[in-house]
């Protein structure tokens, strides 16, 4: 697009912003003189005690050292990001950029507009965290700015307190000056790739946070099963599932790590069904894919498929146990030294073999598994079996293929194992009894020195265990 054609768009944007500001101002009452004379006085002194350094500070420092060593002599800029408008003068809840949180240790309490800068100093870098210092109560910002004013949103952190908390030099964001030669995360491919690959192997703090996120998620799944009678009784039971899990995610963590999938009946065949507006009916299966995000921003990602009335039909059980068989095959090959892709390949062997046995494929299982001419079984499972997990639900996504899909498993890696089978309601390639059945079983695993640990093993997995789970909790 030409420069001249861009000018009107910029003017329109500016006019829209001005109009929005004017509209918001139009609904505000003016502050009278007495208010302005007294609002800045009569406040107690704020305590100025430095907090203890948080546990992740030393790990974040080690991560910054790794980034520093990889980019000698370059100025590195990692923004936290800013608030994003939801509607008119309301914003979405703020979540800092994952690389920013990983390299600072500032997580759910990070400030919008903050910037981490690594300035080259000889053989290494000096790290400075820039953000907006809290305003003095004598300034109009305190009472007049609904976005950052403390009368509106509560106390903001002080520079000195954050410096002690994170073990980082801090400065006011007004002192930050961007340079033309800066390497900026998400604008520089090499920096973006490096910080993504840095998260492939988790340190002890990260592993502890993953355990905590999984533990809270397991409690959330128990909550859902316990509320099944209420869920079934509501005309939009999927929404009730979402709400029940949200309560656990907010009470025991920062929130959900991603939009909850509460997919009942045929909705379970839509891989990312987040509309969650359907009924939950006895006789159907409900597929629930949900994860609690801890205050540290590390998230679980777990799926269970549950018979709504507590018992699988014969066909539902056949499909469910095949998916579990595929998951168990993936578990069996997941160990240090194995290729990440081998996990998916092991699951696919089971999916191809079983769907061929059921007469669903136009070819043999062996032909379906052919790398060039096969894939017929993938109609019923189009997604991969695993993805890395951590501070992002699809963590390390900018890593090179040779480090990710073709990478070698190492102790400390955390990823999912999540095969599935999905027979859509209008799929004429399968017998009618299969149509509308969708099943996924997803666990979060940690690579150890001799295999993998199933972090979510406490959540029932087998068909018999799931039926006993529903019987035990939903009757209370």
Task: Give 211-233 pLDDT, tens digit per residue.
Answer: 999 999 999 999 999 999 999 99
pLDDT tens, 157-195? 999 999 999 999 999 999 999 999 999 999 999 999 999
Residue with tokens 């948080």: 54
User: For position 49, what pLDDT does the model report?
Assistant: 82
Sorted by sequence, the CB contacts under 8 Å of residue 402 that are 6+ apart come out as: none
The class of domain 204-473 in CATH terms is alpha beta
Torsion-angle region of residue 113: left (phi > 0), alpha (psi -120 to 50) or beta?
left
In this predicted structure, the answer to whether residue 11 has a pLDDT above a threshold of 50 is no
pLDDT tens, 420-471? 999 999 999 999 999 999 999 999 999 999 999 999 999 999 999 999 999 9
In this predicted structure, the answer to whether residue 77 has a pLDDT above a threshold of 90 is yes
Task: Provide the mean pLDDT of the chain.
Answer: 94
Residue 375's Cβ-count burial label (10 Å; 0-12, 13-18, 19+) is: middle
In this predicted structure, the answer to whether residue 135 has a pLDDT above a threshold of 90 is no
In this predicted structure, the answer to whether residue 13 has a pLDDT above a threshold of 70 is no
In this predicted structure, the answer to whether residue 26 has a pLDDT above a threshold of 70 is no
Helix (H) or strand (E) holding 245: helix 237-252
pLDDT tens, 103-128? 999 999 999 999 999 999 999 999 99
- Global pTM reads 0.93
Give how far Cα 322 sits from Cα of 44, 138, 309, 353, 441, Å.
Answer: 65, 67, 21, 10, 10
Domain 51-197: give its CATH architecture. 3-Layer(aba) Sandwich (3.40)
User: For position 35, what pLDDT does the model report?
Assistant: 93
In this predicted structure, the answer to whether residue 4 has a pLDDT above a threshold of 70 is no
Contact (CB, 8 A) for 294 and 273: no
User: For position 476, what pLDDT does the model report?
Assistant: 64
In this predicted structure, the answer to whether residue 330 has a pLDDT above a threshold of 70 is yes
pLDDT cut 90: percent of the chain above it: 89
User: For position 21, what pLDDT does the model report?
Assistant: 55
User: For position 10, what pLDDT does the model report?
Assistant: 43
- Give the span between the Cα atoms of 472 and 476, in whole angstroms: 7
User: What integer is the mean pLDDT of 57-64?
Assistant: 98
User: For position 8, what pLDDT does the model report?
Assistant: 39
Which residue ranges make up each domain of the chain?
A: 51-197, 204-473
User: For position 50, what pLDDT does the model report?
Assistant: 85
Task: Single out the residue of 291, 263, 247 nearest to residue 387, CA to CA.
Answer: 291
């Amino acid at each position: 697009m030409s420069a001249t054609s861009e000018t009107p768009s910029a003017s329109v944007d500016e006019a829209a912003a001005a109009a929005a500001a004017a509209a918001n101002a139009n609904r505000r009452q003016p502050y009278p003189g007495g208010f302005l004379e007294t609002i800045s006085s009569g406040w107690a002194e704020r305590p100025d005690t430095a907090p203890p350094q948080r546990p992740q500070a030393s790990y974040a420092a080690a991560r910054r050292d790794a980034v520093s060593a990889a980019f000698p002599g370059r100025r590195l800029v990692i923004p936290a990001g800013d608030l994003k408008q939801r509607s008119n003068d309301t914003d979405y809840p703020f979540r800092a950029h994952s690389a920013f949180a990983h390299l600072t240790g500032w997580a759910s309490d990070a400030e919008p507009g903050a910037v981490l800068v690594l300035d080259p100093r000889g053989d290494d870098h000096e790290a400075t965290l820039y953000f907006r210092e809290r305003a003095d109560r004598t300034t109009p910002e305190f009472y007049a700015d609904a976005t950052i004013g403390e009368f509106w949103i509560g106390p903001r952190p002080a520079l000195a307190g954050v410096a002690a908390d994170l073990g980082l030099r801090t400065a006011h964001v007004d002192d930050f000056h961007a340079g033309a030669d800066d390497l900026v995360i998400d604008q520089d491919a090499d920096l973006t790739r490096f910080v993504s690959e840095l998260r492939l192997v988790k340190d002890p703090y990260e592993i502890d946070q993953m355990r905590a996120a999984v533990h809270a998620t397991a409690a959330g799944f128990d909550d859902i099963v316990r509320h099944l009678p209420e869920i079934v009784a509501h005309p939009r039971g999927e929404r009730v599932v979402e709400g029940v899990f949200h309560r656990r995610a907010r009470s025991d963590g920062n929130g959900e790590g991603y939009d909850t999938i509460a997919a009942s009946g045929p909705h379970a065949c839509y891989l990312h069904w987040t509309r969650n507006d359907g009924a939950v009916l006895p006789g159907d299966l409900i597929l629930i894919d949900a994860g609690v995000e801890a205050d540290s921003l590390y998230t679980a990602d777990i799926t269970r498929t549950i018979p709504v009335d507590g018992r699988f039909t014969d066909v539902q059980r056949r499909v469910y146990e095949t998916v579990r068989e595929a998951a168990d095959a993936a578990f069996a090959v997941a160990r240090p030294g194995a290729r990440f892709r081998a996990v998916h390949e092991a699951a696919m062997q089971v999916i191809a073999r079983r769907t061929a046995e059921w007469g669903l494929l136009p070819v043999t299982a062996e032909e379906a598994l052919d790398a060039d001419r096969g894939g017929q079984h993938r109609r019923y499972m189009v997604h991969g079996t695993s993805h890395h997990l951590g501070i992002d639900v699809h963590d390390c996504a900018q890593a090179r293929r040779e480090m990710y899909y073709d990478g070698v498993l190492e102790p400390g890696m955390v990823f999912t194992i999540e095969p599935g089978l999905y027979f859509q309601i209008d799929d004429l390639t399968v017998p009618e009894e299969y149509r509308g059945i969708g099943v996924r079983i997803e666990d979060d695993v940690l690579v150890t020195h001799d295999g993998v640990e199933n972090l979510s093993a406490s959540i029932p997995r087998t068909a018999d265990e799931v039926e006993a789970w529903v019987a035990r909790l939903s009757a209370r």
